Amino acid sequence: MTALDRKRKAFFRGHSAERLASLALMLKGFRIVQRRYKTRLGEIDLIARRGDLILIVEVKARSSLEAAMEAVNHTAMRRIEAAADLWLARQPDRTRLSLRFDLVAVLPWRWPLHVPAAFMAGN
């Protein structure tokens, strides 16, 4: 398998994981506001909303929950947080919104695991 084939496979696996994560969150009553929100500072996989609660969601397709949690390192958290700040600044109702940083782990042959408050802003 060439490097391009591996890259293509990872790309499609990531998109598939995001679709599954979106479905899992929608079944919990969240509305997906944005997918793959990209800024110069970072990227957010999913932004979901239920009422005034905004979820900033990192989606990881890994072999275990532990591997998914470890994949979100300190640098990734800072980039996600910076992108979330930019997104929030553009919202007209930003003063009443609550932000939470969640993780959805997409594991082989299992329903996606939603981990609320997987990390906190500023940590």
Residue range 20-58, pLDDT digits in tens:
999 999 999 999 999 999 999 999 999 999 999 999 999
Whether 67 has a pLDDT exceeding 70, the answer reads: yes
For residue range 81-107, list pLDDT tens digits in order. 999 999 999 999 999 999 999 999 999
pTM higher than the cut 0.75: yes
CATH architecture group of domain 3-119? 3-Layer(aba) Sandwich (3.40)
Cα separation, 51 vs 63, in Å, equals 33
- Is residue 47 exposed (0-12), middle (13-18) or buried (19+ Cβ within 10 Å)? buried
Cα separation, 82 vs 67, in Å, equals 24
Question: Taking the domains of the chain in order of start, what are their residue ranges?
Answer: 3-119
